[in-house]
Copies of this chain bind each other. A is one copy, B any other.
Amino acid sequence: MCAALAKPVLYTYFRSSCTWRVRIALALKGIAYDSAPVNLVKDGGQQMTPEYQAVNPMQQVPALKIDGITLSQSIAIIEYLEETRPKPSLLPQDPKKRALVRMISEHIASGIQPLQNLTVLEQFGEKKQDWAKNCISRGFKALEQILHETAGRYCVGDEVTMADLCLVPQVFNAGRFKVDLTPFPTINRINKALLELEAFQTSHPSRQPDTPSELRV
């Protein structure tokens, strides 16, 4: 089969928040794909094998084989899907609103998530939980303030955008680190509204092919 016509392959880990962003995009756009699970903790991490290093030199998930190329980095992947499979759109038409969507996405993808990533947490030993909690709370405090200006039903207006694909997985991580969401009512409200949508449910960490049976719902 020609590479361009082959079904995309997503290198995924059920609990990876960056991969979840991409799973939501694929679900919303109705793109069928095969999952190639990469267990980030088993045997010292399957991402460390030479085979996976050839897929993504950064040895992280997600990576997506699609249209004959292999892409890593979740926002870059979502932007590519948006440009090549534009319906339904994950970016507004208006350049200023597009900028706000990208700003919120990057706020989460560069400003919060990397600080509570596995590699960083390992450095903190017993203080791991406190560090992660603190980074997420600080980022959410700023995000709550930004959302007061941008939000409608969702992060920017009333349509689901890339920003929402970043929000829900980050709130899930906040839950893992027991961040109190009471000071962030807008984040909490939008997260709940998004979790009612099918694409956010089917892509959920509790429902992936590699989800351990005890974590399935």
**A interface residues (Cβ-Cβ under 8 A, vs B):** 56-60, 67, 69, 71-77, 79-80, 83-84, 95-96, 98-100, 102-103, 105-107, 109-111, 113-115, 119-120, 123-124, 131, 139, 141-143, 145-146
Contact = CB atoms under 8 A, between A and B. Distances in A.
B145 A75 contact: no
B57 A76 contact: no
B75 A102 contact: yes
Contacts of A58: 107, 111, 139, 142
**Copies held by the complex:** 2
A106 B107 contact: no
B73 A98 contact: no
A141 B106 CA distance: 24
Given A59-B142, A111-B114, A120-B120, 18 more contacts: A56-B142, A58-B111, A58-B139, A72-B103, A75-B102, A76-B102, A76-B103, A76-B105, A76-B106, A77-B103, A79-B102, A80-B96, A84-B95, A109-B110, A115-B115, A115-B120, A123-B123, A123-B124
Nearest to A119: B115
A96 B67 CA distance: 9
Nearest to A64: B99
A106 to B, nearest CB: 4
List the 5 closest pairs (A to B, CB-CB), nearest first. A76-B102, A57-B142, A73-B106, A80-B99, A114-B114
Given A57-B141, A57-B146, A142-B58, A110 B114 contact: yes
B79 A99 contact: yes
Contact of A69 (B99, B124, B143): B99
